[in-house]
């Protein structure tokens, strides 16, 4: 059993104090404790308070603990990445060059590249190869302060490969320090063998894939986009998933405005993703339904598109989370710190809002808020010590990894 850990003299951003997604002004409430202290033991946060408070209750046990003097540096919950495609085969740097020459993301996909290219490479990869590639990516997430990651299938689009991806996630969740939360995304594209028979693929997915995937996944996601899945097809898939206990998520309004935000509200999705082109009506509907906006500013940058209107969404009462969207096409990054920087720079979130979006609200977007996303007694001891002295500095000094140490379930895994 690991020694207890006593972190002292930290600037703690606890994010504590609210049950459920934060919206509006609550997104700025970080629960700051100056000269703060944490006691981590048995994988759990046992106490949170000022260093003086904890000296009273735990001072007598300091001899048996690893004592960390944060010397005024920032300590936050482990970051949560609520939207990734982290398990995939191969890579697509050739397409990156094509896009820089002016070919669009959808043109590449419609010509059989993009998601289809990764599908072929993922079908070909053995389970072991997929595991090894993805494990390296999770290692890199951890180094960037991320302790919980959602992962989607969706590069198989046949039962065998979708299950292979979900099995790899199950193994990684068990064997890697990061908690990996599985989402089924068989509706990521219509595979070539179903071209012109899109509704048959939807039937096949609902009848043959969903019942099996439901044994391994918690969420069900659809790429609702022109020339991919229509809102009607997306609704059928998400409603069918609900019957198997899968909670809906939607890739919505990424490339064109397509009614995705409205659909997310209608089907009771826990979150809607991307939303670059979401309509005002869609934003209002999400606010009313309590749908979390999971915004991906690194993807917008990488596609050379305007980022989603994060500022407006928060001002209209939508709870905002942010994510890397880690995938081989539109966002090959694992850096949540960069995503927080971009949330400020390209979506005008405040530094406090960006931190809430990458911790507590991100946890809410994958239904893990009872366990992670804030520093509270009884929660998992997932903690990051940053080499900065304020949360503003964390967002201000951009493109740099400020992580000094990471604890996952009370064990030091970085630094």
Q: Does residue 262 bind ligand NIG (CB under 6 A)?
A: no
Q: Tell me the site size for Fe ion, rule CB under 5 A.
A: 1
- To Fe ion, the closest distance from the beta carbon of 322 in angstroms equals 13
Nearer to ligand NIG, 37 or 327 (CB): 327
What is the smallest separation between the CB atom of 296 and ligand NIG, expressed in angstroms?
7
Q: With CB under 5 A as the contact rule, which of the stretches 305-313, 321-329, 343-351, 376-384 interacts with Fe ion?
A: 321-329
Among candidate residues 229, 224, 162, the one with its CA nearest the CA of residue 201: 229
CB-nearest residue to ligand NIG: 329
Which residue(s) pair with 380 in the sheet? 44
Angle among Cα 292, 333, 218 to the nearest 5 degrees reads: 40
- Tell me: does residue 115 bind ligand NIG (CB under 6 A): yes
Measured CA to CA, the distance from residue 14 to residue 33 in angstroms comes to 7
Closest contact distance (angstroms) between CB of 249 and ligand NIG is: 11
* Smaller CB separation from Fe ion, 180 or 375: 180
* Residue 146 to residue 372: CA distance in whole angstroms: 11
Measured distance CA(107)–CA(124) in Å, rounded? 24
For ligand NIG, the binding residue among 41, 221, 254, 382 (CB under 6 A) is 254
251 touches ligand NIG (CB under 6 A): yes
Residue 31 has a CB neighbour count (10 Å cut-off) of 18
Q: Is 325 in the site for Fe ion (CB under 5 A)?
A: yes
- Confirm or reject binding of residue 324 to ligand NIG (CB under 6 A): no
User: Residue 329, interface with ligand NIG (CB under 6 A)?
Assistant: yes
User: How many positions of this chain bind ligand NIG (CB under 6 A)?
Assistant: 13
299 binds ligand NIG (CB under 6 A): yes
Q: Does 259 bind ligand NIG (CB under 6 A)?
A: no
- Residue ranges that bind ligand NIG, judged by CB under 6 A: 85, 114-115, 118, 223, 251, 254, 299, 325, 327-330
């Amino acid at each position: 059993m690991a020694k207890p850990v006593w972190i002292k003299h930290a600037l703690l951003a606890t994010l504590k104090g609210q049950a459920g997604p934060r919206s509006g002004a609550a997104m700025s409430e970080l629960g700051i404790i100056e000269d703060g202290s944490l006691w981590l033991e048995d994988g759990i946060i046992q106490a949170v308070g000022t260093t003086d408070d904890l000296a009273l209750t735990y001072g007598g046990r300091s001899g048996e603990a690893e004592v960390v003097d944060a010397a005024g540096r920032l300590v936050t919950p482990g970051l949560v990445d609520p939207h990734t495609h982290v398990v995939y085969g191969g890579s697509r740097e050739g397409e990156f060059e094509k896009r820089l020459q002016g070919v669009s993301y959808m043109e590449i996909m419609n010509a059989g590249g993009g998601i289809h290219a990764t599908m072929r490479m993922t079908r070909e990869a053995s389970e072991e190869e997929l595991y090894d590639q993805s494990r390296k990516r999770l290692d890199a997430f951890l180094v960037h302060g991320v302790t919980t990651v959602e992962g989607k299938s969706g590069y198989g689009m046949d039962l065998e490969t979708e299950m292979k991806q979900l099995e790899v996630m199950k193994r990684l969740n068990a064997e890697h320090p990061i908690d990996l939360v599985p989402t089924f995304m068989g509706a990521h594209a219509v595979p070539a063998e179903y071209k012109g028979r899109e509704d048959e693929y939807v039937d096949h997915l609902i009848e043959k894939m969903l019942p099996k995937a439901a044994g391994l996944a918690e969420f069900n996601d659809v790429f609702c986009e022109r020339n991919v899945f229509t809102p009607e097809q997306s609704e059928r898939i998400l409603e069918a998933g609900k019957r198997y206990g899968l909670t809906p998520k939607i890739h919505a309004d990424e490339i064109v405005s397509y009614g995705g935000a409205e659909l997310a509200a209608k089907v009771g999705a826990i979150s809607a993703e991307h939303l670059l082109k979401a309509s005002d009506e869609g934003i209002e509907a999400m606010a009313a339904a309590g749908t979390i906006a999971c915004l991906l500013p690194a993807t917008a940058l990488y596609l050379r598109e305007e980022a989603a209107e994060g500022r407006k969404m928060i001002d209209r009462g939508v709870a905002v989370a942010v994510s890397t969207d880690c995938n081989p096409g539109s966002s090959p990054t694992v850096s949540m710190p960069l995503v927080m920087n971009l949330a400020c720079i390209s979506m005008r979130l405040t530094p406090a809002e960006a931190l809430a979006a990458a911790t507590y609200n991100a946890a809410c977007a994958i239904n893990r808020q009872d366990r992670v996303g804030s520093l509270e007694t009884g929660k998992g001891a997932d903690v990051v010590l940053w080499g900065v002295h304020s949360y503003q500095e964390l967002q201000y000094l951009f493109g740099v990894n400020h992580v000094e140490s990471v604890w996952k379930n009370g064990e030091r895994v970085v630094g």
